[in-house]
Structure 1
């Protein structure tokens, strides 16, 4: 069985093809292709839904052809077409869903609408082999602490305002850092040169976190600090990372204690950050037998293969999305998905 996955919920357009060999137990999973194209706005600017949707429309057909060529298959070999139903930006989501519907009609294939967050989780579980971890999902649009229970991914805590990735991206604009390859990546590299830790607002409310306060504070003071020479841009990036990541580690550890898990799986684009992985690892070492799992940029950054993987798992349980239900939603909660494939 082969699934085609189409992802375009934000500025990254990803196409993936994955094969599940059903003759083995559990099925043998083979990644056939995983191609991606990213929309980069100019430095100091964010990506707007209209421009991002236009980017996706301009590149999606070429990427699909490239994915099929790389996998050395034809459309008749595909069992199901999977697309991101949400959450995400309305314009880009709709552009990709339209292509998925068109291909399904042209090729006479069934469709599966996939929750973007669940796609990250299932891809992370597949790549790392994590069995039943507490999941820290951190990206430009989402920040959630998640654990599985009774056929659903339960949200233990989340950002009350902006996501951690959005916080980092917006501060990158203040410093006029490039958006290529990603503003968060450029902050991470600059933070390695920081030597002074600035006392920034730290907001944890139970299991939830808030990033708008720390962002507002550092934005308001950045120019003055740079002008006076009190702190460098590297110091600010270093301090911002240390503060927001400490908040995430704190809430993740509480979730681990609550469910009795020794595993942490970090997924989402911010999950590529090596300092976040290092801080989480230090926490896990202090818990007996603690383990941290993470993937590299091929799978933690938005990609089509994660949508194919989650869609295939749902499809194997008999789930499909009727054509009249293939609309997209910008708000699609992780815990709304019935994970029938989980034991």
Structure 2
């Protein structure tokens, strides 16, 4: 290669490296009412429960590992799927499914497209908009891909206004804290930052001293309330919250604990939404996106597991609630696959992620009321 071509190649490489900040900066931004987005994921929460409530085939000791069958049956074992759904997930079924859009039921299936159907590949796909064959384990290695969060955080309007809280100790690697420099609080880490509230300090103290069931996954309540306090104090424009108890208890074969965690996830989403609507910085200008990183197998034999070889674990669900999303509930809708979430999150904020990352899936158009 001659010197002039080397120089041109070097300039091209430099321009590509700067793309995280510069790409699509000059593109016209479509007007949206959404100024803030909160993305929450409940790891491995099945679409079956989201649309049908507790699975009758698992409310037993043999297949569901349920310790107190009568108590679980009384709480979540109503006669119809609609009643079971409202009992287990009242916020999703009464608010998201009526005031927003809920995708993933039979007839409008949502799917993982990475082919792996487990956590790191799933989070990468949600965060980047595409499946990457290099992401083939849950090991702790820095994600080579730039996530939509990192891309947004590099923009002047979002710099320092993106935060991530999660129960899993791999999140700092998936979001590449080392490269991105983003605010990421994961697993058993205490809340960080200047001017922590007494509530945040107390959460950190309790989190450091509580008995731990899992070394690599904290409890949902600590990550959720730490994120909620950060929302109140720092008022970020983009927040990710990753909750893991549903996956942990499903793998353990404890359907009773899985249901309890799913119910508490739903209650937390209600509190989150009410908190956002009570704050002038977020009221009527914030979209809530809810989903899971992967599905699970069918009851009664394979619900504990997921992965390439587990049929049905590619199916997920997606909920969208906010000022740009006309209510249509969970009626027949266009699909909303996992690789569409990154571009949709950005588009809600008036940003064109597809222009930066052409491998990302397209925007979920029906989330904006478009065909």
Higher strand share: 1
Of the two structures, which has the highest relative contact order with CA contacts closer than 8 Å and spacing of 6 or more?
A: 2
